Amino acid sequence: MSTKSVIMNGETKVDGVVHINGMKRKIQDTNYHESPAPKRQCGQYEEVQNIKNLLFKRVKCRPTIGIVCGSGIGGLADVVEDAEVIKYGEIPGFAVSTVPGHKGQLVFGTLQGKSVVLMQGRIALPIRVMHVMGVKMLILTNAAGGLNESFNVGDIMVIKDHINMPGFAGMNPLVGTNDDRFGPRFPAMSNDNLYFYRFGPRFPAMSNDNLYFYRFGPRFPAMSNDNLYFYRFGPRFPAMSNAYSLKHRKLAHKVARELGFHDFVREGVYNMLCGPNFESVAECRYIRMIGADATGMSTAHEALVARHCGMEILGMSLITNKCVLDFDSDQMANHEEVLETGAKRSKDFQKLVSKIVEELELQ
C-alpha cells in the first residue's frame, strides 16, 4: 500500500496529514460548498399577522398597552375587567411556558379604562404579535435578585437600563435574517427620536435621540430620542440607549409617591442571565462590579424585540431575594422564595401598575 506525498508551502502533506517538526495536523477541506438554504424563522411577518387575525376573531379587545407579568405577580390579571383569556397552547407558534408562577396565557381586557393585553408566561413571539395588534406601550415586570446592598427584599426597582449578558455570547432575539417590516437590522437602544416605518428599526438605539419614522423602521436607526424609521417590524441594528425612557420612569416614581410606596420603589440597572440556574457567588460579584443593581433571567430580550418594533417601554423588577455575595455564606436562592415574595408584594405591585396605566398618555 503506497503513500502519496506532495510538498506544499514547505510542508509535506501525506494522505491529508501535514508533518511539521514531527507533529501532525489534519488539513481541512477548503473546497467551496454552497450554504444550505436558511431555515424558516419563527415569528415571520406573515405568521405574526395570521396570529393577530386569529386572536382578533376570538376577542373583542383591541389593546394599546401590553403588560408582561413576572414570576409571582401574574395576579394582576385578576383586576382586569371584561377579561378574555387565550392559552398559549391554543395559539399557533406560541411555546408553552414551563416556569412555576407563569400560567402561559394571554389575558385581554380593560385596566383603568385602557385596553390592555397581559402576558402570563414569557416567550418572545407575543411581543411582535402585541405590536401588530396595536400595542404602543409595553410594561415589563419581573422577579429579580437584589445586588445593590441598599435594596431590601420586597423593594420594586424601576429599570433605567439593562445588561443583556446572553447577548455577549450571541444569544439575541434579533439574530437571523431581518425582516425590515418588523424593524431595521441594527436598532439603536438609546433615546433618539424613533423614525417610524411600519414597526421599527432593525437595530434601534435605546438612547435619547429622536426617532425617525418610515413605515416600520430605518435600516440602522438609533433608538435614542430620534424619530424611528419603520420598515415592517424594525431596523436591523437598533440602539439600546435609553430604551427605558426617562418620561415613564418619572411617571412610575410619581405614582409611587402618590400611593405612599416611595420608601420601597427604587431605580437601577437590571442584568439578564440565561438560567435556568441561579447565579453563583462569583457571578453575582462580577455582575455587581460592572454596574447591575439586580439580576434575573428575562426582560432584556423582550425589551430588545419591543424596541425593535418601536414600542415604548417601562420595566420594573420585584426584588424577591438578595443575591449572595459572600463565598462562605450558607444562603442560597430558590424559586419558592421568589414566589413567596411575589405573593406578599403582589397587591402593592398591582396597585402601582394599575395607577401607572391610568395615568399613561399614549402618543
**pLDDT of 222-245, one tens digit each?**
444 443 333 567 777 887 888 999
pLDDT of 157 reads 98
Whether 146 is covered by a domain: the verdict is: yes
Q: Where are the alpha helices (DSSP H) in the chain?
A: 45-58, 125-133, 246-259, 281-289, 300-308, 335-359
Say what angle helices 45-58 and 125-133 make with each other, to 10 degrees.
Answer: 60
pLDDT of 242 reads 82
Q: Which domain holds residue 287?
A: 63-174+238-324+333-363
d(CA 120, CA 71): 9
Nearest to 322 by CA among 189, 130, 150: 150
Whether 82 is covered by a domain: the verdict is: yes
The pLDDT tens digits for 205-228 are 544 444 333 344 444 444 444 433
Burial classification of residue 100, based on how many CB atoms lie within 10 Å of its CB (0-12 exposed, 13-18 middle, 19 or more buried): exposed
Point out the residues of the chain with pLDDT beneath 70.
Answer: 1-43, 72, 97-102, 123-124, 185, 188-232, 363
- Where would I find the beta strands (DSSP E) of 79-186? 81-87, 105-111, 114-120, 137-146, 156-164
Angle formed at CA 297 by CA 292 and CA 301, multiple of 5 degrees:
90
pLDDT of 94 reads 84
Those residues whose C-beta lies under 8 Å from the C-beta of residue 98, and which sit 6 or more positions away, are: none
Q: What is the CATH number of the domain that holds 132?
A: 3.40.50.1580
Bridge-based pairing of strands 156-164 and 265-272 is: parallel
Residue 83 to residues 63, 77, 79, 239, 318, Cα–Cα distance (Å): 12, 8, 9, 35, 25
Q: For residue 350, what are the β-bridge partners?
A: none
Q: Which amino acid is at 42?
A: C
Whether 159 is covered by a domain: the verdict is: yes
Whether 70 is covered by a domain: the verdict is: yes
Those residues whose C-beta lies under 8 Å from the C-beta of residue 160, and which sit 6 or more positions away, are: 244, 249, 267, 268, 269
Whether 222 is covered by a domain: the verdict is: no
Those residues whose C-beta lies under 8 Å from the C-beta of residue 108, and which sit 6 or more positions away, are: 59, 60, 61, 63, 83, 84, 85, 86, 115, 116, 117, 118
Whether 282 is covered by a domain: the verdict is: yes
What's the domain count of the chain? 1
d(CA 68, CA 347): 16
Overall size of the chain counted in residues:
363
Whether 220 is covered by a domain: the verdict is: no
Whether 41 is covered by a domain: the verdict is: no
d(CA 54, CA 52): 5
pTM for the model stands at 0.76
Nearest to 216 by CA among 137, 302, 115, 128: 128
